[in-house]
Structure 1
C-alpha cells in the first residue's frame, strides 16, 4: 500500500469520515445536520476528501455467506525467487483470481498473505490446484480456515 503523503485532517473532516464509514449513503444534508453545519461547506469538504484520495471509493459490503462463499481461508505464501520480475509476475497472477479478495506483500517469514472466499472445501481444493499453484514460483502455501469472525470492519481508526 502506497502512502504518498499524509493529508492534514481537522476534527470536522474526521467526523465526516467516521459518519461516511458507518454509512456511505448518508446525504450531505444529513451530514450537515449531524455536524451542525450548512450543506455547502460539508459538500466542499467531502469533495476535497475525495479529490485528495482520503476517500478512495464508496462500496457495498456483501455478506459472503449469503452469496454462497461461506468458506474463508487465509493463506500464507512463500515464493522460490524474489526478483522484481518474479514478484510482479506473481502479483499479476493473483490479481486475476476472483477468489482472492485481499493480497498483501509481507516482510517476515512469508512473502504474501491472501484472503480467499470460496463455497466449501472442495472449491478451496480446486482453487489451490487449478488456480493458485499454477504459478511456478510458488514454494509453500500455509492455509488456515476461519471458524468465526470476531471483528470485521473496513473502517480506518481515526482520532
Structure 2
C-alpha cells in the first residue's frame, strides 16, 4: 500500500551553501528509545516520509526532559523514561525553513530512553511507528542529522556528543 505524504511546511537544509540564514533558535528534545532487543523506536514522518526519532519543541512551563517525554508519547503512543543523554546538537549548518519565513538553527537535545508503558500508535504527524533493528537502518530514508544521532548511539559513547 502506497502512503501519501503531506506537503511539508518546512524544508531542512544541511551543509547547503544555498540555505537561508537562520533567524530563530528554538530548543527541541528527542529520545532515542530502544527495546530489550536493541531495536530503535522510529517514526515515519507524515510531511516528508523520512524516518526520525520522536521529538519536538519545548513549551513554556516544561523542562526539556519533559518536552522529550511528552513529544514521544504524542508521536508514538509510548510512555518513556529518560535513562541518559546521547548528545546536544546545535550545528549552525543545519537550518529548517518554515513557510511563514522562520528559519531555525538546529538546537536539539537527544536523550536515551526506554519504554515504561503505553502502546505503539501512529499520530497525525506520522504514517508509521515501529522498532527498527540496526541491520535495517541502512535501507531507511532519513535526514543525515538523524543518522548521525543513531551512529553516536551505536558507538556506545561514554560521554554525550556536544556539537
TM-score, scaled to structure 1: 0.27
* Higher share of residues assigned strand: 2
Query: Which structure dedicates a bigger proportion of its chain to helix?
Result: 1
Greater relative contact order (Cα < 8 A, sep 6+): 2
Output the TM-score relative to the length of structure 2: 0.26
